[in-house]
Amino acid sequence: MWMGWHEVAAWFRAADQAGFDAGFVVDHFLSDLDGFEGDHGTTLEVWSILGALAAETERIHIGPYVASVTHRVPGVLAKQAATVDHISDGRLILGVGAGWHEREHAAYGIPFPSPRERVDLFGEAMEILRRFEAEERATFAGEHASVTDAPFSPAPVRGHLPILVGSRGKRMMRFVARYGDYWDLPSDLDRLPDLEERFLHMCDAEGRDPDAIVWVHEEISPTAWDDLEARVATLAPKGISFFLVGVRPGQDPEVLEKMTPVIERLRGG
C-alpha cells in the first residue's frame, strides 16, 4: 500500500480490532506498480515499518508481501525477519519471492540477475533460512549466496518462521513444496486444476504433506470488499483458505469494522 506511516498504522490497528488474521506490507522502494502515481507516491521500507507495526498491534499476523531475495542477502533477511518475529511475539509470516521489478533495481543500484539466477538465489536463500532454524551455527556455500559458521540467535519465537512463497513458475512451485507454509497462487485460477496435480506430485517427491501448506489468493479488485463473502464461498471449495484483499490510498479503514460480521460468519462456516 502506498501510504504514509500514520495511514498504514491506522489500517493495521483497524484490522487487528476487526478480527482479521494477517496484514502485509509490500517490499518496494518506488510506487509505480500498476501505474499508481508514477514513481512519486509514498513508499516506506518494509522491515522498518513492520517492526513499528508489531508494536502497534496485538494479535494480527504481519509480514512482507513479498520480500525480494535480491534486496538483501539471505543472512540479513533472516535476521530482520527474526527480529520482527520477536517484536511481534511470534506473529511474523515471511512472504518472500525471487524479485521482478527491473527498473526499481536499477534506480537503487541493486543488481538484477537473469530470471534463472534469481530463482536459483531464491532456492539458496530458502535453504539458508531453514538451516538457521535447524542448526546452532549455519554454513552453506551456494553459487549465489552463502553463510559461514553463522549464529542465528535469537531463534524465531516458535522455532519456525512460516514462509509464504510468491510463486508463479514450475521451479518456484517446487520450492513451495520443499520450504513453504503458504502457497501464493497465480492470479489465473483457471489453471488451478493442472497446477494442483503438479503440486501434489512435487509435495510427494519432497516428502511434504500438501495439507500442511495453505493456499493463498489475492483479490486485487478495489471493490473486493463489497463481495468478499461471495468470493470466499466460491473459492473455498477449490482448496483456498487464505484470502488477501488489497488496500488503496483514499479508502477508509472503517471499512474493516464493517467486515467483522462477515469474518465471523466465514469462520462459523
User: How far apart are the C-alpha atoms of 24 and 247, rounded to whole Å?
Assistant: 10
Determine the structural domain holding residue 19 and report its residue range.
5-268
User: How far apart are the C-alpha atoms of 127 and 250, rounded to whole Å?
Assistant: 40
Nearest to 88 by CA among 24, 178, 152, 169: 24
* Domain CATH code at residue 133: 3.20.20.30
User: Are the C-beta atoms of residues 160 and 166 closer than 8 Å to each other?
Assistant: no
Could you report the per-residue pLDDT of 33-69, keeping only the tens digit for each? 555 445 556 789 999 999 999 999 999 999 999 999 9
Could you report the per-residue pLDDT of 81-124, keeping only the tens digit for each? 999 999 999 999 999 999 999 989 999 999 999 999 999 999 99
User: Are the C-beta atoms of residues 93 and 87 closer than 8 Å to each other?
Assistant: no
User: Are the C-beta atoms of residues 162 and 169 closer than 8 Å to each other?
Assistant: no
Element (DSSP H or E) covering residue 49 = helix 46-56
142 Cα distance to chain centroid: 24
Q: Which amino acid is at 64?
A: P
Query: What single string gives the DSSP state of each residue in 191-204?
Result: GHHHHHHHHHHHHH
* pTM for the full predicted model: 0.93
Q: Which residue has the higher pLDDT, 102 or 261?
A: 102
Domains of the chain: total = 1
Could you report the per-residue pLDDT of 176-216, keeping only the tens digit for each? 999 999 999 987 788 889 899 999 999 999 999 999 999 99
